[in-house]
Amino acid sequence: MATPPPGDREDVIREACKAHDIAKAVMMIANLSDDDGVQILPNLVDDLSQALQAASRSDGEEGRLRSIPAEQLAELAYQMGRSPVAPGQQPVVAKILQVTADKATHRTEELPPRCLSRMAWGFAGASVRNDSLMSVVAAGVVNKSRGFNHEELSNTAWAFAKCGLWNAQLAECLVRECIDKIDTFTAQSLANMSWAMAQWGRREEALLLAIAQALLKKRESFEPTQMSMVSWAFSTLSFKHDQLMSAIMGESMSQIRAFSNPELAHLAWAYANLRIQDRGLYSAISQQLGRQVQRSSASMQPAELANLAWAFAKNMMGTDSVMRYIAEHAEPQIGSFKAAEITMLTWAFAATGQQRVGLMSEIGSKVAKRAEKLSASQLAHVTWAFGALAMRQADLCEKVARCFEHNRANFSAQGLTQIVWGFAMVQYRDKEFMDLAAPQIVQGIAELKPLALWRCSWAYDTLLVSNLDLRKAILDAAAARVNEFSLKGLARLAESYKMGHRSESDAGLELHLKERLSFAVQGFNRLFPAVGALNDEDLPPLQHIGMGDLRMSATKYILEKLGFATPSWSFVSSCLKEVSNRRLADCVGFEIQAENPLERVEAHEFRVRAFDEGRMDDEILEVTQTLVPDLFGRTVASEAVLHALAEACACIYRTLLVDPQSDGDCQAVCGYFRMFLSQIPSFSIIALLVQMRTRFPNLQIEFVEMQMAAPKNALKCGMESQ
C-alpha cells in the first residue's frame, strides 16, 4: 500500500487531534520519517498542544495516557526536538513536551536504548529542560547502557550536555561504553561525544585519546561541522593532540569554502586557545571571510565576531584586512554584544593596535551607558584597551570612575591598576578617583605581578597624583620580588621613581637594576669577539631581555659601561641646527674626526638625515653586508643607524686608505666617531655600535639620544570627537 503524501498525513493528524484521538495522532507522528516530520509538524503544533492538554486533563490522577505506547511518546519528543518552529511557537512546543514528560516520567522502564536516547535528544533539541524526566532517563541509560550503539551513546551525551544536566554515574557509564565501542563510532558520533564532554567540563583523557585515534582513521570523511566541533571541544578541555589538530588543520584548509560563519569562528578560536599558530590556516579563514564580503553573505553574529577577533589577535595574525572586516560587521550591532563579547572585542583591537575609531566610539558609548551591567573586571579590561590604543573617551572614563565610587568592593587591585594605567595612557586625570583607588590597590598589592606594579607607579607618576602609601607599598613589593621582574619592568619602575626622596627600597631597586644591567653589558662585550664573528652563546640571554625598551636612564647606563661617552655640545648643537633648519623629526646624524697615522691622512665628515633619507650605493651596501643587523628585531631607527654606520665605514675606508680586510689597518684608525639619534636606541642599535667598536678599537665612539618628536596625544573618540 502506497504511503500517503505529506499533505494527506498532515490532514489525518490534524483531524485526529480535533477528535481527541491522541493515540492515533501520536502513532502517526512517531512513524513519520525525519524529513516528513520537519515538513509537517510546524503546521500542527497548535492542534497537537490543545489535544494533548485536553487528554491530559481527562486522563485521571495518574495522567499517564496508558493508551499511547511509551516508545511513541519518545518519538513524539524526538520529532518536536527536530521541528524548525517559529520563535512564537516555542512556548507551544514547551507545553507539548511538558505533557509528554508528565506521561513518560513513570514509564521509562518500558523504553529500549534507542527510545531513551531519542527522548533525551528531543528535549535538548527543543531547548526544553525537564529535570524530573531527565533524571529518570539518566537512570535508564545507566541500567541499559550495554545495549546502546555509537549513535545512541553520542546523542544521549549531547542531549544531557545541551540541557546542562549530568551526574558522575551517568558520565562514567557513557565514557566506559564509548571507549569499549569506539571502533564503531562515525565521525559525527565522535564529534558529538567530544562536544558533550566539553560542555560537561569533563577532561576524560582516556576517552579523548581514543576519540583522537579513531578520528585520525576517518580523516577522509571529515566535514566542516565535525572539524569545528572537535577542535572547539579539545581546545575547551585543553587537550592538545598534535597529530589530530594537524590533520584537522589540513582538511580545514582544503574545505574552507564549505565552512559556515559559526564554524569558522569555532575553528579560529580553538587553534588560538591551544596556542597553535599556523599562518596558512588563518590566511585561509581570512580569505573565506573576504569571499563572504564579496557574496554579501549574512552578517556574522556578535559571538562569532568576538571569537574571531580574539583568535586572530591571540595568535598575532590580526592583519589590517581581517580586523577591518570584523570592525565593519561589529560596529552596526554593538548594542547586541554581551558584556563578555565586548571585552573580547576591545582586547583584540588593543592587542593588534587597530584604532578603528567608529567601532571603538560605539563601544565606548555603549559601555558608558550600561556600565552598571558590566562586571568590575570587564570595565577594567575595556578601560585598559582604550588606553592601549591611546583613544580617549571621557564619558567612558568618567562612568568607570563613578562605578568604582559606588561599588568599591567589587574592584580588585589588578582591575584598578588596569584602570589607572588606561587613564594615564589617554591623559585622563581624575584625582578624586586616583586618591580613592590608591588604598584599595595597597590592600591588594600582593596580587599584583611585576608588570602591574610598574604600570601602576608609572600611571600615578604620569598623572601627577602623589600617594606616599602607594609608593611605599609598590617599592616594598618590588624589592621583595625583584627577581621576578624583567629588566624592562625593573628599569621602568626605577625610572618612575627617580625623582624625590630616596628610601632604602629605592636604593635597593637601583642597585639590583645596575647588577642586572651589568650582565647585559658583559653580554654585549662578548657578543662580537672579532669583526663579523658573532658569539652565539651570549645572544640568547640578551634576546631574553628583549628590545632595548628600557627607558633612557637604563639604556644610558648600558651605553656608558660599554664605553660610549656623550659627545661634546658643539656636535649636538650642529645636529640640532640641522634638525631645526630642515624641520626633521626622526633622524640620525654622525661625525667622523679620524686619522690613519700609517698613511698620514685625516678624515672629517658630518651628516644629518631623516630615517628614510639617504642613498644606498654599492660601496655602502657592501659594508652593510659585513655587519650583523636586526639581532633583537628590526625597526626604522635600526635601519637608519645601519645605513649611517655603513656610510661612516665606507668614508673611513676610502678617505683614510684603509683595507677593510686588514685588522692592522682598522686598528690604526684613531679619533672620534659621534652619533646623534632622535630615539632611545634599541638593543639592535647598541649591537651595531658594538660592531663599530670591534672594527675600529682605537676610534672613540660617542652617542647621544634626543627625542625630536613631541609625545603623541591620545586620539579622542566618542562624544569628544563630535
Provide the pLDDT for residue 721. 37
pLDDT digits (tens, 9 = 90+) for 280-294: 999 999 999 888 766
57 with 22: CB under 8 angstroms? Answer: no
Q: How would residue 634 be classed by pLDDT, with cut points 50, 70 and 90? A: confident
Per the CB < 8 A criterion, the answer to whether 163 and 138 are in contact is no
Q: Please give the average per-residue pLDDT across 255-274, as a whole number.
A: 95
Give mean pLDDT, residues 247-269: 95
Q: What is the pLDDT of residue 63?
A: 45
What is the model's pLDDT at position 603? 93
Residues 208, 114, 11: CA angle, nearest 5 degrees:
130
CA distances from 99 to 38, 468, 499 (A): 21, 68, 76
What share of the chain has pLDDT > 90, as a percent?
57
Q: What SS3 state is found at 701?
A: strand
Tens of pLDDT, residue by residue over 396-454, are 999 999 999 999 999 999 999 999 999 999 999 999 999 999 999 999 999 999 889 98
Between the alpha carbon of residue 443 and those of residues 414, 449, 477, 481, the distances in Å are 11, 14, 12, 17
Cα dihedral sign, 178-183-187-188:
negative
Mean pLDDT for 161-165 is 86
Between residues 106 and 498, the one the model is more confident about: 106
Whether the CA torsion 184, 186, 191, 196 is positive or negative: it is negative
The separation between the first and the last C-alpha atoms of the chain, rounded to the nearest angstrom, is: 75
Query: CA dist 254 to 285, 295, 325, 479, 668, Å?
Result: 11, 20, 22, 54, 63
Residue whose cell numbers read 632622535: 678
* 675-687 pLDDT, tens digit each: 999 988 888 999 9
Residue 61 has pLDDT above 60, yes or no: no
Q: What are phi and psi of 670, to 5 degrees?
A: -135, 160
79, HSE (Cβ side, Cα atoms, 13 Å): 30
Q: What pLDDT is recorded for position 242?
A: 96
User: What are residue 662's phi and psi, to 5 degrees?
Assistant: -100, 115
Q: Is the pLDDT assigned to residue 499 strictly greater than 50?
A: no
Any idea which of 41-45, 200-204, 547-551 has the lowest mean pLDDT? 547-551
With beta carbons less than 8 A apart as the criterion, state whether 360 and 331 touch.
no
Who has greater pLDDT, 414 or 36? 414
Do the bridges between strand 587-596 and strand 601-610 make them parallel or antiparallel, or are there none, so unpaired?
antiparallel
**Residue 701 — φ and ψ, nearest 5°?**
-100, 130
Whether the predicted pLDDT of 477 surpasses 50: yes
